[in-house]
Amino acid sequence: MTFSVKRFMAIFQKDLKDLYRNMYVSSTALMPLIFAVIYGRMDNVTIEMHLFVISMSLALVGTFLQCAMIAEEKEKNTLRGLMLSPATLTEILSGKSAVTILITVIVTGISMFIMDFSFSGRIGLMAGIVLSLIFFIALGTWMGLITRSVLEASVYILPVMFIFGMGNMFIMFAEQYAFLQILEYTPGLQLQEIVELEDAGAGFGELWKPFAIIGAWAAAMVVLAAVTFKKRMMD
């Protein structure tokens, strides 16, 4: 399999330039920052609040940005042009994902800066965020491929935001509503598990379970996105 850095960069630059001019989609990235400002002004900012904003960034920026970019390519018939060009599936998806990763990392970084949170010494959490980001971007890719327009993508993102972005908040009601216990297995709650284990002094050997769960989500979604993309290459 070939991978051309030039083709990857061409797609990355084009998407960055296009996104810069797309106020509808790029303004979504402001949402986690708004939450960061609100929570950051509180007297006691708990780790749960930090993780809520991180999950929100991953779901809303990572997933929605990727989903909207791909949905728009389909809506405007530009994805077919890329598919018929020499760019491979890997180059197209990695070029787009690189833009989403860059913006998600910037938004998450600024949000945490606003909330006065330091990642220093939290290697497990950072690794967990990176692994979760793979899941959220693959989810965005898959959703972009199954939706027909940016408007449709904006509707489809709502359940993703509630389940994966706000899972840390809804888990509080799990005792009243048993079905919400499923949220414990979402990447956001697994990040919380990693933080709790890290704070309790657990080593990497004891962190395998949350990493395995997030890894399973990521692997399953990457496979689903790749299979769907290959199917979409054919009419």
Q: Are 117 and 37 in contact (CB under 8 A)?
A: no
Q: Please give the angle made by the CA atoms of 113, 26 and 227, to the nearest 5 degrees.
A: 105
User: Of the candidates 47, 48, 80, 170, which one interacts with other proteins according to CB under 8 A?
Assistant: 80
d(CA 235, CA 216): 30
d(CA 124, CA 194): 7
Binding of other proteins by 16 (CB under 8 A)? no
Binding of other proteins by 96 (CB under 8 A)? no
Q: Of 6 and 178, which has the nearer Cβ to other proteins?
A: 6
Q: Of 9 and 106, which has the nearer Cβ to other proteins?
A: 9
Q: Are 59 and 169 in contact (CB under 8 A)?
A: no
Q: How many CB atoms lie within 10 A of CB 116?
A: 10
What does the DSSP 8-state code read for residue 183?
A: G
User: Of the candidates 30, 38, 41, 81, which one interacts with other proteins according to CB under 8 A?
Assistant: 81
> Which of 234, 51, 68 is closest to 137 using CA atoms?
68
Binding of other proteins by 94 (CB under 8 A)? no
Binding of other proteins by 145 (CB under 8 A)? no
Q: Of 11 and 60, which has the nearer Cβ to other proteins?
A: 11
Binding of other proteins by 10 (CB under 8 A)? yes
Subset of 97-126 contacting other proteins (CB under 8 A): none
Residues lying near other proteins in the complex (CB under 8 A) are found at 2, 4, 6-7, 9-11, 13-14, 17-18, 21-22, 76-78, 80-88, 233-235
